[in-house]
Structure 1
Amino acid sequence: MKKGALFIGSYSSIKVFIHWTFWIIIGWIFMMHFQMGHGWTEGIQGALFILVLFACVVLHEFGHALMAKKYGIPTRDITLYPIGGVASLNKMPDKPAQELAVALAGPAVNFVIAGVLYIFLYVNDQLLPISEIDHMTGGNFWFNIMAANVILAVFNLIPAFPMDGGRVLRALLAFTMDKLKATIIAARVGQFLAIAFVFLGFFTNFWLVFIGLFIYLGAGAEEVHESAKSALTGYTARDILIRQYTRLLPGETLERTVQLLQNTQEQGFVVAENNQVQGVLTRNELIKGLSVYGNTSPVSNVMRKDFVIVAPDMPLQEVYEKLLSNNFSLAPVLDDGQLIGIVNAKGINEVVMVKKALAQKDGIAKT
């Protein structure tokens, strides 16, 4: 389960969650109706409109997720927030054409939904002028849903990275330049538009402020992520392999683990028996385990069994993606099924910092 989110179902092994903050928008809709002098009926109709619209948002995210799955990229889950949905793909495709397809798949779903509703309304002679769009009333329900899907698709295609349009922009740029440079340009455009959203939000719709902040922070994070990946080019797991590390037995107590953390610089431990990895224990699992089971509990009760396995010749970029997407700080390295060491996030970060420092030195030397 996902912390702070309600699980509502799954499709194609992709779980769907509603974050607790999503209900804020439902309460806001009710409040708006009462401020406008409406009753409970209008309030419920307004909330139903939002729920149907967000069902379309879920389908939008499944468009991304299923297209990514076509290219062998799994999606951990889809989560609904007040400002929209997020499909947590393990990574975006490296090939520009594939990223372009994944980015366009979401808006394409909204256009399809709008097209189906258009045909339905046309056949039933229920099409209305654009001026009749009114999201806050119960009338013209399906016409409003159709219009909302068009608006949703068009809005998402604004080139504000990391929105869909921003990813489309990066993919198009990546056809003619390396991905890092394309990411930097797309991120700068995204941050500029994010500032514009925040500014407009104060005078029009305050949700634009939240969307702008989300875009600004997301663009910066994506740039940092891509910069780190670029710095890891040419390295493998063997380059940061740690051969001297502490192994825990499944039966050792959490109290013993606490002592090891206090006396060493290690960020986590591999749990193994007879040279076979049983799980991974990080600080997060240790703290949770202490609060739930107490310090006499064996580590087997709290270790993570869904650990990432790394081969010694695995590209460090791939190791970085695996650790990040699965929220791990370390991973065991196996060679022909035998545990030969570990790699951790600290080692990856050190490679990134060294590469960046050398790049800065070369830049200064050239000037």
Structure 2
Amino acid sequence: MRWSFSIGKFAGTVVRVHVTFFLLLIWIWFMHYQIGGAAAAWEGVAFILAIFACVVLHEFGHALAARRYGIRTPDITLLPIGGLARLERMPEEPGQEFFIAVAGPLVNVVIAAIIFIALGGTAGIEQMLQVENPRADFLVRLAGVNVFLVLFNMIPAFPMDGGRVLRALLATRLTWARATQIAANIGQGLAFLFGFLGLLYNPLLIFIAIFVYLAAAAEAQNAQIRDISNSVLTGDVMITEYAALDRSASIGEAIDRLLATTQSEFPIVASNGHLEGLLTRNDMIAALKDPGPDTPVVQVMRTDVPKVHRRQSLTEGFRLMQENSAPAVAVVDSGDRLVGLLTHETIGEMMMVRSAMPEGFRFGRMRRKRAEPWSRGV
């Protein structure tokens, strides 16, 4: 995620903190300082850090549960509104998603139980509800926050854990796409409710509402792509008209092609048609500053470009794109020669075309002729 930086790697997962998290700490420090001075301000910051330590443990609950099914969690990002664990792929079965979804809240249940036992069972519900009272007991408030995290995350709507639990249960009787759409619709409905309550009570709810609405929409779209991908070949969706670069081309020449086309990713292709690397627009701009426009593209290109055969389903290409966070996937033939590119834009266009075209119409009827690669001297 942009505007975030790593604070360490634990159990193979990178923990990142978004810069806006520090704005939250500054705001908490200032608010508590007005109430009780510097001591109260620093205690308020410590309390927020303790809360987010619980959030990290919550997200690692998801990560460890996902690992049981062979799903890695590349990173966890801390935001002012909570944590976000990014799984390399979605679980394949409803039972797997159910277990992964409930693993996070169960961690908060355990934390709250440990605190409650440590306090000798003296913490009451009224005390735990005083989360915003800086004069209340630190551990009692922390126990209350963990109870709140369980209740909030189990709201049956995307993108909360409760939404995933709901989808897992619905998916036992409905298709995955339909179950996702129902959970997403509920999530977006609750987003409007959060936004309305935010206008009346707490502005933070407005930001939560925006996040919930966008995340629910994205989840529904991913489910639709996943549902359609099983019946579509990668070769029927790939870009076949593109400008390619020769390995002898320079960054300056690549910039010329960037300005002359609408492409954002340029493959570097050898004379035998094999892909050697990929040059993105951001790579070009960065290299233009340093080391300069005369630099050969082979010194800047990305070589870890995922590949998929043109006859494989779109599901495989989409999976490779997600797992590798790749800007594009190279589509090759049986001789490992580049025949097309799969990008986020082409998948989005496929979704729009699919929703508009007549029943029974196939993508294969819209195939385009492949353009010749561009190289120096053309």
TM-score for both structures, normalised by structure 2: 0.86
Question: Which letter maps to 2:310?
Answer: P
Matching residue within 83, 86, 111 for 2:84:
86
SS class of match (2:77):
strand
Match of 2:111 in 1: 113
Matching residue within 303, 310, 313 for 1:312:
310
Name structure 2 gaps, 5 residues minimum. Answer: 362-378
- Would you say 1:28 and 2:23 are equivalent positions? no
Q: Provide the rounded CA distance (Å) in 2 between the counterparts of 1:53 and 1:190.
A: 24
Q: Provide the rounded CA distance (Å) in 2 between the counterparts of 1:298 and 1:156.
A: 50
Compute the displacement of 1:178 (Å).
Answer: 0.5
Cα gap change, 1:243/1:208 in structure 2, threshold over 3 Å: closer, same or farther? closer
Q: Is the 8 A contact 2:278 2:303 kept in 1?
A: yes
Match of 1:255 in 2: 252
User: Which has the larger displacement, 321-330 or 155-164?
Assistant: 321-330
User: Which has the larger displacement, 150-159 or 232-241?
Assistant: 232-241
SS class of match (1:161):
coil
Q: Provide the rounded CA distance (Å) in 1 between the counterparts of 2:126 and 2:358.
A: 56
- Would you say 1:103 and 2:98 are equivalent positions? no
Compute the displacement of 1:81 (Å).
Answer: 0.6
Match of 2:267 in 1: 270
For 1:12-37, what per-residue CA distance to the aligned partner results, in whole angstroms no more than 9, with x for missing partners?
Answer: 2210111000012111211221332x
Q: Say what the alpha-carbon RMSD is for the aligned residues.
A: 2.5
Match of 2:287 in 1: 289
Name structure 1 gaps, 5 residues minimum. Answer: 363-367
Question: Which letter maps to 2:4?
Answer: A
Q: Provide the rounded CA distance (Å) in 2 between the counterparts of 1:360 and 1:25.
A: 51
SS class of match (1:248):
coil
Q: Provide the rounded CA distance (Å) in 1 between the counterparts of 2:99 and 2:358.
A: 33
- Would you say 1:66 and 2:59 are equivalent positions? no
Cα gap change, 1:268/1:119 in structure 2, threshold over 3 Å: closer, same or farther? same
For 1:187-233, what per-residue CA distance to the aligned partner results, in whole angstroms no more than 9, with x for missing partners?
Answer: 11111111111112223332212111110111112222222332333
SS class of match (1:132):
helix
- Would you say 1:299 and 2:297 are equivalent positions? yes
Compute the displacement of 1:321 (Å).
Answer: 3.4
Match of 2:194 in 1: 197
Match of 2:126 in 1: 131
User: Which has the larger displacement, 262-271 or 173-182?
Assistant: 262-271
- Aligned residue pairs total 357
Cα gap change, 1:254/1:209 in structure 2, threshold over 3 Å: closer, same or farther? same
Matching residue within 221, 226, 235 for 1:229:
226
| Mapping of residues 3-22 of structure 1, within 5 Å | 3-22=2-21
SS class of match (2:86):
strand
Q: Is the 8 A contact 1:280 1:331 kept in 2?
A: no
Compute the displacement of 1:158 (Å).
Answer: 0.6
For 1:141-193, what per-residue CA distance to the aligned partner results, in whole angstroms no more than 9, with x for missing partners?
Answer: 22221221111111100112111111111111111101111111111111111
Match of 1:365 in 2: none
Q: Is the 8 A contact 2:187 2:216 kept in 1?
A: yes
Cα gap change, 1:306/1:41 in structure 2, threshold over 3 Å: closer, same or farther? farther
Compute the displacement of 1:111 (Å).
Answer: 1.0
Cα gap change, 1:8/1:328 in structure 2, threshold over 3 Å: closer, same or farther? same
Q: Provide the rounded CA distance (Å) in 1 between the counterparts of 2:359 and 2:335.
A: 40
Cα gap change, 1:289/1:96 in structure 2, threshold over 3 Å: closer, same or farther? same
Q: Is the 8 A contact 2:29 2:41 kept in 1?
A: yes
Q: Is the 8 A contact 2:247 2:270 kept in 1?
A: yes
Q: Provide the rounded CA distance (Å) in 2 between the counterparts of 1:292 and 1:175.
A: 54
Cα gap change, 1:252/1:117 in structure 2, threshold over 3 Å: closer, same or farther? same
Q: Provide the rounded CA distance (Å) in 2 between the counterparts of 1:353 and 1:296.
A: 40
Q: Provide the rounded CA distance (Å) in 2 between the counterparts of 1:106 and 1:117.
A: 17
Q: Provide the rounded CA distance (Å) in 2 between the counterparts of 1:142 and 1:49.
A: 9
| Mapping of residues 209-248 of structure 1, within 5 Å | 209-241=206-238, 245-248=242-245
